[in-house]
Amino acid sequence: MKFESTLGTIWLDANQSALSRISYTPLAENPLANQKILQTAKHQLVEFLAGERKTFDIPYVFEIGTDFQQEVWQALAEIPYGETCSYLDIAEKIQRKKAVRAIGQANRNNPLPILIPCHRVIGKNGKLVGYSGSSDEGLKLKEQLLAIENPMLQEITLF
């Protein structure tokens, strides 16, 4: 399923029981996707992007990713709405202090951006780095998502 949002076109995918992908680039239509889950996900994402929702309550699943990546994604899911942390903070949280670059790669491969809030991870110097690849467009999306959550965000808040 695809839909237009304030961020541009967003594509969604699901299996029979859970949301499995959110993408800023086209996804192939999954004929087995649970349409109710896709509609609920769309509705909740639209609410989130309008600043009307702070949490999601749709079932999701990681159908891709190594054990390490999934561990990182679970840590990302714990970052509170409107707060940020650094890649080093995530490394410390999962007790892998030397894995900062690998955590950046895991963020880049996050199959459920927005829902699993990789946009809340910023450089330890407080600068926006990496999102949806490393393009300027990706950083613009990250900035938009952070602004939705906390328009006054000036400093890093650790979770």
Provide block-wise average pLDDT over 10 residues at a time, the chain (159 residues).
96 98 94 97 98 97 97 97 94 95 94 96 76 66 91 53
Category of 132 on φ-ψ map: left (φ > 0), alpha (ψ -120 to 50) or beta: left
- pTM for this one? 0.89
Residues 6 or more apart in contact with residue 55 via CB below 8 angstroms: 81
- Round to whole Å and give the CA distance between 51 and 42: 14
Question: Annotated active-site positions, please?
Answer: 118
